[in-house]
Amino acid sequence: MHIPETSHVVERLALLRAAMRQQQIDALIVPSADPHLSEYLPARWQGREWLSGFTGSVGTFIITPEFAGIWTDARYWTQAEQQLAGTGIALMKLTSGASVQYVDWLAATMKSGQTAAVDGAVLGLSIARLLETALRAKNVTLRSDFDLLDQVWADRPALPAAPVYEHLPPFASQTRAEKLVNLRKTMRQLGAQRHLISTLDDIAYLFNLRGADVNYNPIFLSHALIGPDRATLFVADGKVSPALSATLAEDGVDVAPYQSAAAALAALPADSTLLIDPRRLTYGTRQWIPATVRVIEAINPTTFAKSKKSDGDAAHVRATMEQDGAALCEFFTWLEQTLADPQRPALTELAIDREITAARARRPGFVSPSFSTIAGFRSNGAIMHYRATEAQHSVIEGDGLLLIDSGGQYLGGTTDITRVVGVGALTAEHRRDFTLVLKGVIALSSARFPRGTKSPMLDAIARAPLWAEGLDFGHGTGHGVGYFLNVHEGPQSISQSAMPEPHTAMEPGMITSIEPGLYRPGKWGIRIENLVLNRPAGQTEFGEFLDFETLTLCPIDTRCIESSLLRDDEKRWLNDYHATVRQRLRPLLSGAALAWLQTRTEAL
């Protein structure tokens, strides 16, 4: 989507406020969400970005006649300050773990008898309940029955129309029939005859289907209703071919129009029991369920199932990591050769995205990037979710640190890696900061912990080397990663802002990132990221233990390290990692890229 100019933002807010007056709305809430609570949104639901110009993937926009503000967390503060400058929109900084702070602000700001509005179709059910309770206490009405953006967004994009396709063996290691049997077993254990799923990656996982309706994530707009004997997939007409529809029907899956999900739920028998996940369903979708139906609330069973990769999945991911690592070696070889060439044209951050994607595209099984590449030189690296644009980017020249966070979607897995490389001469401060972040990576990568440990509890292990020096970073240490699915998935989250709830327990087969960082605004940013796999690590009288297998295969730039800050065991970890990277990537490389790998994996 084209980011609006500041003048366009002012004009759009004026139009919106006029529509609010017409509808007698005193406060409008615009979440960053679609009817499936996706992280990356189809263009049709990027209303917050269209209105404000703020492109971060997280943020809640609230507009009143006198005020406009976006609530977002520390990952986006620097970016939001830049993008909101001159618009009259305030940045409202969310503190750690306070993602619904705006609910308290609304309750404190609105007066008795006033009306707040939000499109219920994109408002999470759990948030809606908090909002209703807080506003009711102030005698404020909450309207959720219409989408005010439709009145002011004249050229609003249509629903995406990309076709749905199968994720086939050998990469799909379990059939949809098997997955449905397992799901129905869990449904029966929970006392539910039927189950409604609206989260797109759960649906794609369950039916072994993929699509391209959302940038970077191979998913498609849909709802699914699982019954005792058959399941219904609600998806827009024309997206599922007749042949695929017939294949699905043989497995007990009927295809119905996307818009017919509401009618299907309304027609449920009065004595039905329906399983829903209140954290993964919108308020509007919940309204489709008749009051006569008994609703059981629990986390989607598929959320657990898809997080625990099978041995077959893990084998494909390892092979994918080798191809991805080889692509990165070719990319970094190109980068160093280009930086060393005095005759070259100016090298910009934009070229990084282009070249790293081209290197991956040459590898078998590559489908697309898994998110928008972050390439930040010097101070841009301190903007956690920075994105270079044609209008605003830096030339990579002189001295400094270049942070590159990128990933790929492959038929055999999803990758996500961050590396920081030195350009020109580095300072002692650069090396100290880099080494402290690396110590955090090594500390958590080396951890052994009881099976079932709540994932947020592991966060402090990666922070400890930074905390010891009075330093910290404003994002989580790790997120779950899908299998040719979303680059961010749950239920596990290694984050100081996540609650250590039972569903966050670490189990064998989960893939998670480890990515501590350190950011000095106006100077530089450092983040080092690998993906790891939970694996069994023995049994003792105290129970079963797990540790991590590092999956990501790419050298860490030893030129940025202050080796005197590393203990012997930390050096040993790094040398062992680099020996593994060399051994596994060497057969896939030749020429200059192979020589680069040999050099960059030499032992400390």
Question: Pairing relation of β-strands 253-256 and 511-514?
Answer: unpaired
Q: Average pLDDT for residues 127-150, to the nearest whole number? A: 93
**Residue 282 clears pLDDT 90, i.e. is over it:** yes
**Residue 74 clears pLDDT 70, i.e. is over it:** yes
Structure tokens at 68: 């406009």
User: What pLDDT, in 10s, does the model give residues 577-590?
Assistant: 999 999 999 999 99
Rounded to the nearest 5°, which phi and psi values hold at 539?
-120, 135
Instruction: List domains and CATH numbers for the chain.
Output: 6-152 (3.40.350.10), 165-302 (3.40.350.10), 308-600 (3.90.230.10)
pLDDT, position 233? 98
The CA dihedral of 165, 168, 173, 174, to the nearest 10 degrees, is 60
Residue the block writes with tokens 């219409």:
146
pLDDT, position 1? 41
Residue the block writes with tokens 């507009």:
63
Structure tokens at 181: 């049997």
How far apart (Å, rounded) are the C-alpha atoms in residues 396 and 75? Answer: 23
pLDDT, position 75? 76
Q: Average pLDDT for residues 84-90, to the nearest whole number? A: 89
Q: Which positions ≥6 away from 145 have C-beta within 8 Å?
A: 120
Confidence of residue 122 (pLDDT cuts 50, 70, 90): very high
Task: Share the mean pLDDT of the chain.
Answer: 94
Rounded to the nearest 5°, which phi and psi values hold at 409?
-100, 120
**Residue 35 clears pLDDT 90, i.e. is over it:** yes
Helix (H, G, I), strand (E, B) or coil at 295: strand
How far apart (Å, rounded) are the C-alpha atoms in residues 279 and 127? Answer: 8
Q: Average pLDDT for residues 206-214, to the nearest whole number? A: 96
pLDDT, position 78? 80
Rounded to the nearest 5°, which phi and psi values hold at 93?
-80, 120
pLDDT, position 99? 65
pLDDT, position 39? 86
Q: Environment class of residue 559 by beta-carbon count within 10 Å: exposed (0-12), middle (13-18) or buried (19+)?
A: exposed
Helix (H, G, I), strand (E, B) or coil at 189: helix
Q: Which residues of 243-261 are buried (b: 16+ CB within 10 A; e: fewer)?
A: ebeeebeebebebbebeeb
238: number of CA atoms within 13 Å, CB side?
Answer: 4
Helix (H, G, I), strand (E, B) or coil at 482: coil
**Residue 71 clears pLDDT 80, i.e. is over it:** yes
Confidence of residue 371 (pLDDT cuts 50, 70, 90): very high
Q: What HEC string does 554-598 produce?
A: CCCCHHHCCHHHCCHHHHHHHHHHHHHHHHHHHHHCCHHHHHHHH
Identity at 547, one-letter amino acid code: D
**Residue 199 clears pLDDT 60, i.e. is over it:** yes
**DSSP-derived secondary structure for 8-61:** HHHHHHHHHHHHHHHHT-SEEEE-S--TT--SS--GGG-HHHHHH----S--EE
Q: Average pLDDT for residues 148-164, to the nearest whole number? A: 93
- What's the farthest any 2 CA atoms get from each other in the chain? 76
H or E stretch at 102: helix 101-109
pLDDT, position 2? 46
**Residue 3 clears pLDDT 80, i.e. is over it:** no
User: What pLDDT, in 10s, does the model give residues 510-520?
Assistant: 999 999 999 99
Helix, strand and coil content of the chain, in percent to the nearest 5, comes to 40, 20, 40
**Residue 4 clears pLDDT 70, i.e. is over it:** no
User: What pLDDT, in 10s, does the model give residues 404-439?
Assistant: 999 999 999 999 999 999 999 999 999 999 999 999
Closest CA to 526 of 561, 578, 480, 479: 561
**Residue 131 clears pLDDT 70, i.e. is over it:** yes
Structure-model confidence comparison of residues 78 and 570, the more confident one:
570
pLDDT, position 369? 97
